[in-house]
Structure 1
Amino acid sequence: MDSGDEPVPLDRLSDRFFKYLFAREEHKDLLIAFLNEVLMDLDPDGSARRIEDVAYGDRESSPLYRDAKLPRFDVVARAEDGRVFHIEVQVAKDPYFLERNLYYAAMTYSLQLRKGEGYHTLSPVIFVGLLDFEVFPSAAQNEDYHSLHRILDVRDHRWAMRGMEFHFLELPKLRRRSAGPRTGLDRLLSYLGNAGGEQVMQELAKVDSRVERMMQLESLFMRDPDLLRDYLKDLRDRLDYENSFKWARTDGLTEGLAKGRAEGEAKGRAEGEAKGRAEGRMAGMEETAAAMLREKIDILLVSKVTGLSLDRLKALQARTEY
């Protein structure tokens, strides 16, 4: 970039930048800090569930069956106690987002065991979704942006089946909050979701060293020509992908309207032709009936032959009499 060029605005939720922050061994402390903030945010026992270290895993799990749908994640990490974390950033709203991540978590859970291993060796799978849309819409102004989902007993809410849990972090709800960031998770997500603008980011960096570090890494990211080129390429591809759907919808609508008009015209022509044929047949039948009536053939017999009602024949008879 030339020094006179405008700085490229960074989407902190982009796939490239998010993985740069959280999926690199040299930045592993940021991932651990983020996961611990998530674990402690809603769980009274969260401090007891803190993690000290993680090992990065394969982001594309092998399918259980040959034709099984292959799960993919932004970050996969296993804690020192065996817990498996799926971390995913989702910007575009997906109508089947919940079903997809339940499927992914269940597949990861089931693929842990090898032949001969006992079920007691299974480790919990914890999904963390950072979402730039609302998956659980709410009418409240200051609704909670973090929701935790587990398999609980419906009567006493006992949590006995601990194999999977799901954390959803809905950034639009965080941005709508009237109060400023309060918890560590608030501060980290405010940075990632750019909640409040750059001035707020500077203020957060003063009180949270992790935000300060992420901002420093952001500066390094933007000055690295290779990272920046890959980021811009991904951004271009994503915009092309989104535009292809937009134009496909527009073209589909235009095509649908044209098809609808053509079908309507064809249907109108067919209905008109059918109506014309029916009216022609009726006119011909009435002409036949009138000729029979002029020949003084009994009106009941004319009705049976032509199918015309007596009332209609009587009206026709009145018109044909001289």
Structure 2
Amino acid sequence: MSVKTLRKIPLERFVDLKVDYAFKQFFGTEQNKNITVAFLNAILDRTGRNAVNEISFMRQEFGNEHVDDKQSRLDILVKTQEDLFINVEIQLTNEYDMMKRTLYYWSRIYTSQLRKGMGYHKLRPTITVNICNFSLFEQTEDYHSIFQLYDNQGKFKMDDVLEIHFIDMNKFIKQWYAKQLNSWENVLAKWLMLLGMVDVRKEKVYEEIYLELEALAMKDEELFNAFNVWQDLSQSPEDYYAYQSRLKYILDEAAKLEDTKHIAEQEGLLKGLERGIEQGLKQGIEKGIEKGIEQGIEQGIEQGIEQGIEQGIKHGEKKMQTEIALKLLKRNTDIETIAELTELTVTEIEQLKGLHD
């Protein structure tokens, strides 16, 4: 009788399954269909007669039906034996549009079923699952939130056509470490441990989760097979290169988003400074006039206030523009873009670059 053993690779070699390329290779391919079915049943809490038994992978592009349509590419889209559509999306970073984007994806999948002459009664329920490496809902500590169409007062369901799941990986990891989850009985927890063991954004691998996964895999055939598929994916040179390329793109885009937010904040500070100076100028002039009348030196006070404030404005704006330019230079932003954002001249920016190279 053969003894089941789990192959081992260095922990740092495992790919982060929350990176969409790795996620699709793991859950979105025909050869791993059994893994996908088990994962979906765990999320939807379906067992016995209600379980998902068979799925078909569907095309992932939506849009371009009209000239101005937005093109959307889904992570995973399947149709079950009951003709239910299930879309699973993985999000490593928060792009601040999750709610609207989720509803948009749901609506496109739901309406894509409708054909000319087809009755509305034939439209089948559509389920969307969002697995997020960030928190969206401050109102709850639960890591798994489910939304459907309910009456506000009686709480009865209008229809089952809409079902949206959000899984918060940060809250899951927190609860796992707080020993609030029994992964030996909680089926979904086993799969989320696979997704949560590696956190590439934090440059962290949770060894404690690995050890429990290893023990679970020796008792769970589905998890055992999934673990070996994960190791194969992590060891494939082609997949690992594609994974690293995709990861770099995701992190670069996240950095650009942070830069945009920072620049917007700086611009807000500049506008606030301008408003403050304008108000101060007005108050200073009013007080200067009043005092000048009293002392008989109105003209001198007016000139002094105007010159002092003008010099302060120029010095403050110049300093703020220079600080923003230096931060953008560190991000390798091109000089023309920096000049446009800061209103410094190209020559001034080149001088700054030369001083700090």
| TM norm structure 1 | 0.73
Residue 15 (structure 2) aligns with: 10
> RMSD over aligned Cα, in angstroms?
3.2
Contact 1:64 1:111 in 2 (8 A): no
Structure 2 counterpart of 1:186, from 179, 182, 189: 189
Deviation, 1:240, is 1.7
Residue 334 (structure 2) aligns with: none
Q: If you compute each CA radius of gyration, which structure gives the higher value, 1 or 2?
A: 1
Residue 203 (structure 1) aligns with: 215
Deviation, 1:18, is 0.4
More displaced 10-residue stretch of structure 1: 231-240 or 259-268: 259-268
Residue 233 (structure 1) aligns with: 245
SS of 1:207 mapped into structure 2: coil
1:214 maps to 2:231: no
Cα separation, partners in 2 of 1:28 and 1:242, compared to 1, 3 Å: same
Matched residue pairs, number? 275
Deviation, 1:19, is 0.4
Residue 72 (structure 1) aligns with: 73
Contact 1:187 1:208 in 2 (8 A): no
Unaligned runs of 5+ in 1: 287-322
Q: How does 1:59-98 map to 2 (within 5 A)?
A: 59-62=60-63, 66-93=67-94, 95-98=96-99
What is the alpha-carbon distance in structure 2 between the residues aligned to residue 132 and residue 110 of structure 1? 29
Which deviations, in whole Å up to 9, do the C-alpha atoms of 1:124-145 show, x marking residues without a partner? 1011122223333356xxx543
What is the alpha-carbon distance in structure 2 between the residues aligned to residue 93 and residue 251 of structure 1? 18
What is the alpha-carbon distance in structure 2 between the residues aligned to residue 253 and residue 93 of structure 1? 18
Which deviations, in whole Å up to 9, do the C-alpha atoms of 1:167-201 show, x marking residues without a partner? 22222332214133122222111111227432122
- Identify which of structures 1 and 2 has the higher relative contact order when contacts are C-alpha pairs closer than 8 Å and 6+ apart: 2
SS of 1:167 mapped into structure 2: strand
What is the alpha-carbon distance in structure 1 between the residues aligned to residue 165 and residue 262 of structure 2? 36
What is the alpha-carbon distance in structure 1 between the residues aligned to residue 80 and residue 56 of structure 2? 7
Deviation, 1:31, is 1.0
More displaced 10-residue stretch of structure 1: 160-169 or 181-190: 160-169
What is the alpha-carbon distance in structure 1 between the residues aligned to residue 71 and residue 144 of structure 2? 27
Contact 1:149 1:165 in 2 (8 A): yes
Deviation, 1:6, is 9.7
What is the alpha-carbon distance in structure 1 between the residues aligned to residue 41 and residue 157 of structure 2? 20
Structure 1 counterpart of 2:284, from 272, 280, 302: 272
| TM norm structure 2 | 0.66
Deviation, 1:210, is 2.4
Unaligned runs of 5+ in 2: 1-9, 198-205, 299-357
Q: Which amino acid aligns with 2:256?
A: S
Which deviations, in whole Å up to 9, do the C-alpha atoms of 1:6-32 show, x marking residues without a partner? 944522211111001111111111111
Deviation, 1:60, is 2.0
1:20 maps to 2:25: yes
More displaced 10-residue stretch of structure 1: 156-165 or 80-89: 156-165
More displaced 10-residue stretch of structure 1: 247-256 or 96-105: 247-256
Q: How does 1:47-58 map to 2 (within 5 A)?
A: 47-58=48-59
